[in-house]
Amino acid sequence: MVRRGINPSKRLPSGAKIPERLTLAVLTHAPFIGGYHAAALDVVSRTLDSLRESVRIPYDLLVFDNGSCAEMRDFLLQRQGRGDIQYLLLSERNLGKCGAWNVIFAAAPGELIMYCDQDVHFSSGWLEQSLAILDAFPDAAMISARPMRPLPELSSATLAWAERTPDVAVEAGTFVRWETEWEMMSGLGLTEAQARLRYGQSGDVRLTRGGVSALAGASHWQFLTRREFLRTLPPLDGGRPLGGDLQFDRAVNDAGYLRLMTCEPLVTHIGNTPGPAAPEAPRPAPRATRRWIDLPLVKNGLLWIHDRIFWLYH
């Protein structure tokens, strides 16, 4: 074969655009639109919209879709087409959360990377306060913008660092309000009695350095980090689709990095229902052809069966 002509890209006056310093990375997954995932498009829309409205510095948005249905993929392609998403990665199959993290952490080009699940609402100021903590605590590899009671064993490196650092003030006490904890725990399916028992049996540790305070602990469903930290951690084991979430938390703690949280809740875990304030997500245009399996009676019946099987096993 012989190449004919000259590639027109060689005549362009400038090179490719340099990625922004900040990459916002979102993981999406909806195997179907129905049952547990009935509001998935609205939930993802609320997450993306709240990011756009709350971040006031240049950024690139990276979305990794973990083997979703055609409706979710079409929705994300629409959002990319209108300029909301700079990097869109569509996986043919579900790699599990840890498998998806491996891809996201390797692909995100920014010096700073904020990761979140698809169901997180961001309030004004979350990034500014997270960056202030990162500047005051440069060894922090996870900074979450919502306080909650963490697992003590995942904060051992944070507390050990604080004890040997003379300019850090350490306070133990109750700094996470019950209302803040209950809002988070109720979204995870705990009863109020279970949440109160857990809340009463735990406590908080606040670190202050250079006039900036943060709580010990972090949440793997939303955190800010540096790319240089991610590159030092070993690859995560994919395991089950929803298994091994704490692998990343443990890897950060085992590496001696800090896990910190803002003292006030600046992000909210939405869950699978966006609530009345969520904007309606634009639905993908209907496909030109429809198979018998797409007929409403057949589709709804199969989705109901799938939903029952999902709840039976998971």
Catalogue the E-assigned strands of the chain. 22-28, 60-66, 87-91, 112-117, 120-122, 140-144, 169-173, 204-209, 212-216, 222-226, 258-261, 267-269
From first to last of its 314 residues, what are the pLDDT tens digits of the chain?
676 766 666 666 665 689 999 999 999 999 999 999 999 999 999 999 999 999 999 999 999 999 999 999 999 999 999 999 999 999 999 999 999 999 999 999 999 999 999 999 999 999 999 999 999 999 999 999 999 988 889 999 999 999 999 999 999 999 999 888 888 887 777 888 888 888 888 889 999 999 999 999 999 999 999 999 999 998 888 765 545 788 999 999 999 999 999 999 999 999 888 765 433 334 444 444 445 655 666 666 676 676 566 555 44
C-alpha 234/C-alpha 314 separation (Å) is 28
Domain boundaries, the chain: 22-269
In Å, how far from its chain's centre is CA 277? 21
d(CA 257, CA 153): 13
What is d(CA 26, CA 60) in angstroms, rounded to the nearest whole number? 11
Given the candidates 3.40.30.10, 3.40.50.1970, 3.90.550.10, 3.40.50.300, the CATH classification of the domain at 22-269 is 3.90.550.10
